[in-house]
Structure 1
Amino acid sequence: MGRITAGRGYDYLTREVATSRHDYYTGSGEAPGMWTGSGRIELELDGVVDADDMAALYGSFLDPRTTHHVQPTDGRVVAPTLVGEALRSEPKVLNRGTANERVLEQVAAFDVTFSPSKSVTVLWATACDRRVRATVVAAHEVAVSAGLAYLEANAGHTRVGRNGVRRMVTSGFVIAQFRHRSARSTRPGERVGDPQLHSHCAILNRVRGVDGRWRTLDGEAIYRHAHAAGALYAAVLERELSDRLAVSWAAPDGRVPMREIVSVPGEVIARFSSRREQVLDHFERLLVEWTAVHGRSPTRAERAGILDEATVRSRSAKRKGNETDLHDHWRAQLTPCEQTAIDTVTGCQLATNGGRMPAGSTQLAEAVMQSLHEQRSWWTRAHVFGEVARLVQDPTVEAIELEVERIIGGCLELEPDRDHEYAQHDKTKFTSTTIKEAEQRVLNAAVQTAPWTVDPLAMVGLGDDQTDAVTAICAGEYQVSTVIGPAGAGKTTMLKAAAESYGVAERPVAVLTLSAAAARVVTEETGLPASTIAAWRVGQVRLPRNGLVIVDEASMVPTLTLDQLIRVAAAYHCRIAMVGDYAQMGAPEAGGLLRDLAGLPSATHMASVRRFHQPWERDASKQLRRRNRDIADVYDQHDRLIGVTTQYAVTTIADAWLNDILAGYDSIIVVDTTAEAALVSARCQQLLAGNSLLGETAGAGVDQTWICVGDLVQTRLNTNTIATSDGSRVLNRDVWRITGSNAAGDLLATHTRTAVTAEIPAGYAHDHVVLAYATTIAGAQGRTLDTGHVLVTPRTAAGALYVGMTRGREANHAYVITDSHDHEEFQLGDLSPRDAFAAAVSRAPEGQLSAAAIEQRWKQTAGQRLASRTDDRTHQRAFEWWTQRQTALPPQIADALHGHHQQVIAVLASRGPATWATMIRSATTNTSWDQHRAVRTFIERLETMPSSAAGGASSEAPSTQAGSNPEVARR
């Protein structure tokens, strides 16, 4: 799901259409788009999308029926008709002509893309039987239609009233739908890459309300329901292919994200899943060519230019086809055994049904609730709809909706709204009794009296806030002590001091962390025994009795786990210390409680920030933590914000990282996703190789990534099977330096922090070793280095941004992607770096709030909600009154006030209805209507009329006499 900006943002879709049957079959173009959506009828759009029509609608919001200018019947010139709000005359362009061009434009459409699981695409792309391929396409089209119909039914409205407080029914979406067959090529010079059947559905950001006016869509609703629409698409596609081709389905890894067709070879799926650009071959070739031409090695700046060129060349726009049919081209990449396997997957339906469960069953309801608990503390109908669509047998829309209502009926409503005129039931949030009771138990435990105390030691070098935290953990009044500390506050030093106090008192201390790597770091830095929460849950670790249990990074611990942990610790007469920061990463499951605990008397707040060398950055980090948008100005003034487009983001951030490495800094790159980390790390590896900082190839990692001597790598799976020099385990997120390889092909590695050595087997490396130059937010939290470089995308949330921008002691830079669209095939401009950074600062997903916080917020905003709705109702009444009463005005005055009705209504709405007639009568009588500023005078008289002058009058229509002012009659 993404956005298409007005102007030429739509151009990619129309430009890719094939100009002939030959071009289509050889992959040189795609099928023409088709108009769909109920709203297209309003504009008489049907059939194939005409490029001129799309240019008018998506480029300028013009009614395509009026943009040809000359009527074919009589030759009259017709002015184009606007569909809703007009575009500005010219979009504002910043830095025109540079690689980082940024354009501030309106959103013309929402691009909702439907794509099947990879096995479906592989079956369609490589099946020898044309009928099978056609059936897959037909099933895909049925599923897309179902997804769009759901989205239109649930998000096809517009917003009206004061501040958009009300919804209005519309005639539906106008959609230009384009079916594409491949992803962008990852091989230089080719236009068609891996097969990937998908449909772009460009939903016009204009809908016609029941009042006849065109307005923008409720974009928030589209985003809210997009996930459920995708789940419905996948469910309908499964049902259609099962019915038509009798294929069987399996859920990968026992979970139900998107099922794959049974017996489609995994090797083929992996082979056709390389969407990201591979620029290393281009770089090496261009480097050789450059050296041959210039007779010398390039400078660092010249090398950076060569790398930029390699990136651009490898990101080619899809292959110009040859004489080979596109499907023949893909089949040629299969072995005979693979082709046979694919051609025999149909007609082999199994009874397992891919893990789906009968409608109405207890099993289904329990599975849906478990899935919801694993994601958040609360949910909406759309969340439940998506889960049911993935899990229910025979997933028709009707069956899914019945199950949604059945399951919602067993949930607790957090935001009850009985004002049916304004209630938005699809936004209403629910939770379960399980979550609600667990949250309440944790909050209750936080105000229980501690069973005993420990005398805190007087520690030299601690700040006042650190001392307060130690005192709370040792001798505080409450059994559960919550310590909130921002990034760089010195929480580790504080914990070490608390542990020494417990040691003197001869009371045991245990630390629980989310990851084994974090547990090892805690032990190394504090000397405390630390284990993972997972190890405790499966019984590998026992809590101490009459001791202290420290929960590290408590914001990331799920609510249900926290509840269980506190209950067991309390039963063992333990004190519990919850240490963390709710402004950083939240729990991957139902969470958000640390923020609630921070507001209780048992919480201690560490205020000082000690990490950063620059005083301004210490203060800035606090404002960043508070999500103050204006802090973007401070970072901008200190040259910490670098604007980039998606195309150049990897190049720019990797080059800056290399400069720090060459200057002797320990540096880190932080990104949103694992895929981005792999892409950026590959670029960093290229830069190191280009600067002769890496040795020979030592082996291969995940996705066949080459690993060289000198590379930094990360192991991604805990294991006891790899021998290390000190007998310790190899852990997830351990970082190693590659020193060589042995005769068996194993990687020789040295741990970057402990200097422990290990021989990493080639098989483990192939499955679980990645380059470690860039990491995700989860991998960065808790780490401190010299400098940090953060990639800020339109998806980066406030908590992730805060973590990323607080890793470096010396400096932290944000590389802010200014493109507005997530889909890599669209390169669009949007915000300035400052504005894009500010948007990320305030982008706080509600999913990180507890159910208790959602409920409390709903209650606290009741007055504001009532005032807003009352204000809107008053405006509605004023509008109706004025619409009726203005017909009683003399024609001359009615003509003069044409176009100014909203001003009049706004003034009327600010006064009581009983005063309206007197106000209009008085203002009309005391206005000289022959003057050019008569309307302005009339409005001013309404605005400045004392309440006493207008009060107590009848609300009947004003009886205005034109003769009371001689000039009125002449008008």
Structure 2
Amino acid sequence: MMTVKSIGSQGADGYAEYLDAKTVAPERGDYYLGHDGEPVESPGRWLSRPETLRALGIDPGARVGREELVALMQGRRPGTEEHVRPAGPTGTRNAGVDVTLSAPKSVSVAWALAGPEQRAELEAIHQQAVTRTFAFLRDSVPLTTERVDDRNAPTVARDLHAAEFRHSTARGLKGRVPDPQLHSHLVVMSVVKQDGRIAAVRDRAMYRAAREGGAYYRAALAQGLSQAGYAVEPGTGKHGRYFELSHARPEVLQAFSGRSREIERAAREFEAREGRRPGENELQLIKITSRQAKAPQTSRELTDAWKQTAREHDQQPIRSRTKARGFHDIDISWGERVERALTHERATFPARELRATALEQAAGTLDPDTALRRVDQLVDVGRLIALENRQFTTRGLRELEHAIVDRAADMAHPDHSRPMVSERFIGAAIDQASERIGAPLSAEQDRALRALTGPERIAALEGQAGTGKGVVIDAAARVERMSGRTVIGVALAGATAQRLGQDSPALAGRTTTIASLLAQHDRTGDRIDHQTTLIVDEAGMVDTPTLAELIKVAHDTGAKLIAVGDGKQLPAIGPGGMFDRLTHHAPKASLEHVRRTDDPDERKAWRALRQGKPERALAHYLARGQLHLEPTRDQALEAAAARYAKLTQDHEVAQVALMSDGSTKEIDRLNARVQHLRAERGELTGPTVALPATDEGPHYGLRTGDLVTWRQIQTVPGQARIENGSRGIVTHADPGKHTVEVELVGSERRVAITGPEQLDGRRLGYAQHVVRQQGATVDRAIAVTGGWQTSRESAYVQASRARQGIDWHIPRDELGETGTDIDRVQRLADRMTKSERKTPSLDHTTATDRTVEHTAADRAIDLSAGAEHLTRELPDLRITPPAPAPTPDLSPEI
């Protein structure tokens, strides 16, 4: 992990005092605690080159002295008042940048449980990784500028004024045993330009390099640990970006990461109990009351406390093997893991992300410098494809996109083996649909129905939010069934598939998830055939690999596929954007007339948000008093919960959508607050069945009257399973049996949820993330937004859920401290303009320049290896002749 923090112009003395207070030279090379319980660490060391230090009058072999450190942070030559670094435009000099490199928790645990010799070994491995990472950052990150062609061009420095201070504990509460955390602070004070001048650090460049630098450090650390004989487990954490030592138990890692979790958990329990977040004084009280009775006063007491925690979780000391394990720089799966990680979320990625991913996947298997060189080789052999605008994609994903387009184009030809759809069937379906909604179908709905039921084996329906797509889907399903075909409705999410069956009666009991459909087809091969019609709802949210598999099955079996969606709403979680591409190759119908609301001004607001013109929409909501600015996000959450509680006095709880684009913890907080308000009004009755308490889970229970949602699938013997995202009202709660009975929203079906395992997958369902509301229709909506998560797509989905309007709750503190509220509304509009739309790689042409820029040193390396060399060195690449380009936009050489 690498974090970056700027040290302000007034921060030199205070920051040096913090470092100095924790870096007093220890006695006998051991670790002790000071009189206040703080750990006493090793002294700081200089990272600058010897010649750089001598030019400043500093002995390269000396320890970092406080006076020298403060002088350089202030931009002065040590021992003098001479400034070696010019002041900035404001006349001040920033003290520099703190780059913190932290070892994975398992390494810190191994250090905590080790004896003096093993601790020294782990410290040496960490120090070597820090030294290598510092050199990598110095030689690759453009931390300064040079004048080139009358402009300042970012460039790497010749050297840096920098020092390292190693610490071994996380910041803890006073009186509490601190968690072990082996880490180093790299204080970078100034840069030495290539011509020898000294200048300030471009801290933004260091911020941008944080992920790449952290990945380099972990790869270098894993290499050192592996060479020392430690068993390294790569691919841990989010998206497999991290590593841990193999013999560290997950429970003990959590136990030694307790401070922040403990405080947050206590704060959430306070909020669930009191119905609000704790104030500053109350939070301080929570911190005090969470202290242990007696804090350790010596190194031995601290080590004993750590060992006691380890014993409680059956964790043995983590040792290296008696014989050092050789570190091999060949890993047959590295290339595949890099590709998979790069396209986990998007089809294209910049060079910086490519380098960071290569380093992340190298931890425990490849030397980091070797991994960076291999990136160029992946491009050379065609595994990675360089695109315009300095973007890249993988050959595998691009081939999937081509396969979707090719199969869709083939299925778009009229299938003359199928009998033409009878006009009588179309008329009957229109009559039935009209009778159900109590109004005739519009001309555009009629045209859409005929397009979807044409002779082609693929069709697309693009419909804006609230345009009555469900009516057209229902009518199309009726026509297909009258024609003797088996119709199946599918969606990516189980709740969306379930809602599809509710909104389209012709599909009732005939919907499922895409994953379930494909899995059953793989098992039996008999559910989909040439007499099958698949209707895919919310197709814009289907990721490219899933869509490719679904279209392949439809194409190969002779089935028909109808894709329904809106490319302007929320995109796929993974690589996506192919629904819009699909509409260029398949017969397409569009629905534009909004029917969800009768308010013409509300329709205009939705259209403006959809078109990326949020100023018009926000002016509409501001004029109607539906845009509420609160001082902080906590207050915005409180106001949103109060408004929900008020609206549900006149509307069913399931008919008011309370949405946030924040974290799951924020959703839990909103839910707990709403529950408290409803309980105060007497809307919740009977006893409480507690949900299993975890560090990450909610801290509330369920009572009769609560709205609950499923966060995982629940199987019910002899009945249809309950999908992830389903919601229901608690009709009975029995703490003795640890059971709640729930009636599903939209049906009269009742189910029992019994025992900790089933209850663990349930949450209160008052508030939900915006992604779970796409496709829903309610009476009223409330949204908490305005932070960095805000986007054009999320704002459009939030606004267009409700028939009778939306209330926006916006935190002022996330929109800047300067200016007026009108200025903040403009900043909100700017954020609502930002698009998170996923684009396929096919939207980009290939680039002629396929070079991946790395460090200056890497650019000097000759990577023009031939195929014979690559085959010998990179067996995982399985080099094959490049496939001929299936479409003209691909370069012939790929």
1:746-778 Cα offsets, whole Å, 9 max, x none, are: 444443443533333433146533444443343
Alignment partner, residue 815 of structure 1: 810
**Cα distance 1:559–1:128, how it changes in 2: closer, same or farther (>3 A)?**
closer
Q: Residue in 2 aligned with 1:837?
A: 828
Q: Is the 8 A contact 1:696 1:708 kept in 2?
A: no
Among 376, 383, 392, which residue is 1:430 paired with? 392
Deviation at 1:850, TM superposition (A): 0.9
Matches within 5 A, 1:540-689: 540=521, 542-598=527-583, 602-611=587-596, 615-628=600-613, 630=615, 634=619, 648-664=632-648, 666-682=656-672, 684=674
Match of 1:793 among 783, 787, 790: 787
> Could you tell me how far 1:158 is from its partner in structure 2?
5.4
Partner of 1:907: none
Structure 1 equivalent of residue 876 of structure 2: none
Distance 1:396 1:733 in 2: 43
**Paired residue for 1:895?**
none
Q: Distance in 1 between matches of 2:673 and 2:395?
A: 48
Alignment size in residue pairs? 789
TM-score, normalised to structure 1, is 0.68
Aligned pair 1:449/2:413, yes or no?
yes
Residues 79, 174 of structure 1: alpha-carbon distance in 2 compared, 3 angstrom cutoff: closer
Deviations 1:276-327 (A, max 9, x none): 4657867998999xxxxxxxxx9xxxx7697676457547899899553588
Contact conserved, 1:40 with 1:174, CA < 8 A, in 2? no
1:142 positional shift:
3.7
Q: Supply the distance in 2 between the matched residues of 1:109 and 1:799 (Cα, whole angstroms).
A: 39
Higher mean C-alpha deviation, range 762-771 or range 633-642? 633-642
- Could you report, residue by residue, the CA deviation over 1:580-613 in whole angstroms, capped at 9, with x for unpaired residues? 2223333333322223335567444433344457
**Rg larger in structure:** 1
Decide whether aligned partners of structure 1 residues 600 and 108 sit closer, same or farther in structure 2, where only a CA change above 3 A counts.
Answer: farther
Residue 375 of structure 2, aligned match among 386, 404, 414: 404
Report the counterpart of residue 214 of structure 2 in structure 1: 230
Aligned to 1:921: none
Aligned to 1:870: none
CA contact (8 A) 1:629 1:838 kept: yes
After superposing the two structures, state which structure 1 stretch, 336-345 or 6-15, moved more.
Answer: 6-15
In 2: Cα distance, 1:305 partner to 1:370 partner: 40
Q: Secondary structure at the match of 1:588?
A: coil
Q: 1:829 to 1:794 in 2, by over 3 A?
A: farther
Residue in structure 1 matched with residue 723 of structure 2 by the alignment: 731
* Alpha-carbon distance in 2 for matches of 1:193, 1:240: 26
The DSSP-based 3-state class of the residue aligned with 1:703 is coil
- State how far apart, in whole Å, the 2-side matches of 1:229 and 1:482 are: 45
% same residue? 22
Query: After superposition, what is the alpha-carbon deviation per residue over 1:672-718, rounded to whole angstroms, capped at 9, x for unaligned?
Result: 43344345545555666677765644123351644423254433322
| Contact 1:114–1:144, Cα closer than 8 Å, also in 2 | yes
Distance, in Å, in 1 between the alignment partners of 2:760 and 2:192 is: 49
Deviation at residue 653 of structure 1 after TM alignment = 0.8
Asked if the contact 1:31–1:180 (Cα under 8 Å) also holds between the matched residues in 2, the reply is: yes
| Correspondence for 1:538 among 509, 515, 519 | 519
Distance in 2, matches of 1:361 and 1:156, equals 31
Counterpart in the other structure of 2:875: none
Is the CA contact 1:740–1:747 (under 8 Å) kept in the aligned structure 2? yes
Q: Distance in 2 between matches of 1:796 and 1:768?
A: 28
What is the Cα deviation at residue 520 of structure 1?
1.5
* Residues 1:377 and 2:347 are matched in the alignment: yes
The answer for the alignment partner of 1:239 in structure 2 is 223
Is there any run of 5+ residues in structure 1 with no aligned partner, and where?
Answer: 58-62, 73-77, 90-105, 289-297, 418-426, 822-826, 860-971
SS of residue matched to 1:570: helix
Distance across 1 between alignment mates of 2:264 and 2:537:
41
Tell me the alpha carbon deviations over residues 153-190 of structure 1, each in whole angstroms, 9 at most, x when there is no partner: 443255776997965443466668676666677x9x87
Query: Structure 1 stretch 397-406 or stretch 806-815: which is displaced more?
Result: 806-815
Contact 2:378–2:384 (CA<8 Å) still a contact in 1? no
Instruction: State which drifts further: 729-738 or 322-331.
Output: 322-331
Shift of 1:811: 1.1
Deviation readout 1:427-449 (Å, 9 max, x if unpaired)? 73222333223322323444432
Structure 2 unaligned runs (5+)?
25-32, 849-894
Q: After the TM superposition, which residues 229-268 of structure 1 pair with which residues of structure 2 at under 5 Å, given as runs?
A: 229-244=213-228, 246-249=230-233, 256-268=240-252
- Say which SS state the counterpart of residue 721 (structure 2) adopts: coil
- C-alpha distance 283-345 of structure 1, shift in aligned 2 (>3 A): closer
Of residues 104, 112, 125 in structure 2, which corresponds to 1:117? 104
Does the CA-based 8 Å contact 2:75-2:95 persist in structure 1? no
CA contact (8 A) 1:818 1:833 kept: no
Residues 287 and 582 of structure 1: is their aligned pair in 2 closer, same or farther, counting only changes over 3 Å? closer
For 2:448, the aligned partner's letter is A
The CA distance in 1 between the partners of 2:178 and 2:616, in whole Å, is 42
Superposed, which structure 2 residues align to 1:103-182 within 5 Å? Answer: 114-125=101-112, 127=113, 129-156=115-142, 167-171=154-158
Cα offset for 1:511?
1.9
What letter matches 1:409 in structure 2? Answer: D
Q: Match for residue 925 of structure 1?
A: none
SS in 1 for 2:844: helix
Q: Does 1:494 align with 2:488?
A: no
1:627 is paired with a residue whose SS is: coil
Residue aligning to 2:736: 743
What SS does the aligned partner of 2:561 have?
Answer: strand
Corresponding residue of 1:64: 75
Match of 1:803 in 2: 797
What TM-score comes out, normalization by structure 2 length? 0.73
How far, CA to CA, are the matches of 2:299 and 2:820 in structure 1? 36
Structure with the larger RCO, 1 or 2 (CA within 8 Å, 6+ apart): 2
Supply the AA of the counterpart residue of 2:37.
T
**Aligned with 2:701 (options 691, 696, 708):** 708
Q: Is the 8 A contact 2:490 2:512 kept in 1?
A: yes
1:474 equivalenced with 2:447 (yes/no): no
| CA 1:109–1:336: 2 relative to 1, 3 Å | closer
Distance 2:559 2:776 in 1: 29
Aligned to 1:890: none
In structure 2, relative to structure 1, the CA distance for the partners of 1:339 and 1:698 (3 Å cut) is closer
Provide closer, same or farther for how the CA distance between residues 149 and 734 of structure 1 changes in structure 2, counting only shifts above 3 A. Answer: farther
Distance 1:400 1:226 in 2: 18
Deviations 1:836-882 (CA, angstroms, capped at 9, x unpaired): 53443244458x221111328x79xxxxxxxxxxxxxxxxxxxxxxx
What is the SS of the residue equivalent to 2:641?
helix
Mapped to 2, the partners of 1:372 and 1:166 lie a distance apart of 29
Measure, in 1, the Cα distance between the counterparts of 2:266 and 2:238. 38
Aligned counterparts of 2:585 and 2:201: Cα–Cα separation in 1? 43
Q: Secondary structure at the match of 1:482?
A: strand
* Displacement after TM superposition at 1:363 (Å): 3.7
